[in-house]
């Protein structure tokens, strides 16, 4: 693939010229993930890296809420996203005004917000969480506020899946990930019948019956760690399609089988638009100063929790 190789070397040269790093989510295509990502990982890992990096420019190879999170954590840096249309069905399911109404209805309860939200929602939030730490964050918030239930928004399935793992009560919203909500328990039953020895891993944005039927549930990074550590002969990853492609090269002998769904938002990011992004310094993601200040407290609290 000479064209891909040419683009990768052009991007790597531009990164040095611009003093830029590329933060690539696990759902990027393999040529982005392996070819140009300086840091790759799940939402939590990328947020931590955005806070640590001393580059002047961050290119978010991921979706818009991730770029906003990077800007909130590094307001002095230029944060770019290669395609401004890379959104998320969870982030667009709720607004800051919705959160203000929820707070009026349930005064005194902490608001825990999944990072898959816009900056105006984070500005109304007490602490953020990702799929990697949601149970820990919910329990921390209940302890700190001295309450027995918390608000966990906007992913309805993540909230129910967290509720199944804690005694803390969880009040949910009706947002859904358009990629993970499509998996069904019947998909898993079919895989079990066809491949009885396969291990089935599911992302916590899936419906509860899918989670209950899986062998392991975790964030994208946790799923990759699981496969690298246990090296199952056959594995099903109930998540976005690029996950299996990205990890396959590192685990020879593991066969990846079964259904996956594409995230149309993540798939907007390509080598071509990453090259254009660095060449023309487009498209800059900005967040109003007051939202940065209020949102940072919520994201930083999450990052500062012990592992």
Residue numbering of the annotated binding site for [4Fe-4S] cluster:
88, 177, 263
> Using CA atoms, how far apart are residues 69 and 91, in angstroms rounded to an integer?
12
**215 is a site residue for ligand SF4 (CB under 6 A):** no
Q: Give 154-158's long-range contacts (Cβ < 8 A, gap of 24+).
A: 154/90, 154/93, 154/94, 154/113, 154/114, 154/116, 154/117, 154/121, 155/90, 155/114, 155/116, 155/205, 157/181, 157/204, 157/205, 157/206, 157/207, 157/208, 158/114, 158/131, 158/134, 158/204, 158/205
Interface pick for ligand 13P out of 113, 118, 130, 242 (rule CB under 6 A): 130
Binding residue numbers: 25, 43, 88, 114-116, 131, 177, 203-205, 220, 263
Q: What angle do CA 40, 231, 197 make, to 5 degrees?
A: 125
* Sole window of 28-36, 99-107, 124-132, 159-167 interacting with ligand 13P (rule: CB under 6 A): 124-132
**129 is a site residue for ligand SF4 (CB under 6 A):** no
The DSSP output letter for 66 is: H
In terms of CB distance, is 42 or 187 closer to ligand 13P? 42
* Sole window of 117-125, 173-181, 221-229, 292-300 interacting with ligand SF4 (rule: CB under 6 A): 173-181
**29 is a site residue for ligand 13P (CB under 6 A):** no
Helices (H) and strands (E) in the chain, counts: 14, 12
* Sole window of 9-17, 47-55, 126-134, 152-160 interacting with ligand 13P (rule: CB under 6 A): 126-134
**116 is a site residue for ligand SF4 (CB under 6 A):** yes
Considering only residues 170 through 199, tell me which ones interact with ligand 13P, judged by CB under 6 A. 177
**83 is a site residue for ligand 13P (CB under 6 A):** no
Walk across the sheet containing 216-217 and list its strands: 216-217, 199-202, 234-238, 255-257
Interface pick for ligand 13P out of 29, 69, 70, 116 (rule CB under 6 A): 116
Which single residue is written with the structure tokens 């060449």? 279
**42 is a site residue for ligand 13P (CB under 6 A):** yes
- Give residues in contact with ligand SF4 (CB under 6 A): 63, 88-90, 116, 177-179, 205, 240, 263, 265-266
């Amino acid at each position: 693939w000479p064209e891909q190789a040419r683009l990768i070397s052009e991007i790597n040269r531009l990164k040095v010229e611009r003093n830029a790093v590329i933060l690539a989510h696990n759902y990027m295509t393999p040529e982005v993930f392996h070819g140009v990502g300086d840091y790759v990982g799940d939402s939590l890992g990328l947020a931590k890296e955005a806070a640590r990096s001393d580059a002047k420019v961050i290119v978010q190879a991921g979706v818009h809420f991730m770029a906003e999170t990077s800007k909130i954590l590094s307001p002095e840096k230029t944060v770019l996203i290669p395609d401004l249309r890379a959104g998320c069905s969870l982030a667009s399911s709720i607004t800051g005004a919705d959160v203000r109404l929820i707070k009026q209805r349930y005064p005194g309860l902490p608001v825990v917000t999944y990072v898959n939200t816009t900056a105006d929602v984070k500005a109304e939030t007490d602490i953020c969480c990702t799929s990697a730490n949601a149970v820990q964050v919910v329990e921390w918030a209940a302890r700190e506020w001295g309450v027995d239930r918390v608000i966990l928004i906007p992913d309805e399935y993540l909230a129910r899946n967290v509720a199944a793992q804690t005694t803390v009560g969880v009040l949910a919203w009706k947002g859904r990930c358009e990629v993970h909500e499509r998996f069904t328990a019947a998909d898993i039953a079919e895989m079990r019948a066809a491949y009885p020895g396969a291990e089935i891993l599911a992302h916590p944005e899936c419906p509860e019956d899918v989670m209950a039927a899986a062998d392991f549930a975790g964030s994208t990074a946790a799923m990759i760690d699981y496969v690298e550590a246990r090296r199952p002969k056959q594995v099903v990853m109930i998540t976005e399609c690029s996950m299996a492609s990205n990890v396959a090269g590192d685990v020879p002998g593991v066969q990846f089988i079964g259904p996956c769904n594409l995230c149309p938002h993540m798939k907007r990011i390509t080598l071509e638009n990453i090259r254009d992004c660095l060449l023309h310094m487009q498209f800059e993601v900005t967040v109003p100063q007051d939202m940065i200040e209020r949102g940072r407290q919520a994201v930083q609290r999450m990052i500062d929790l012990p592992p």
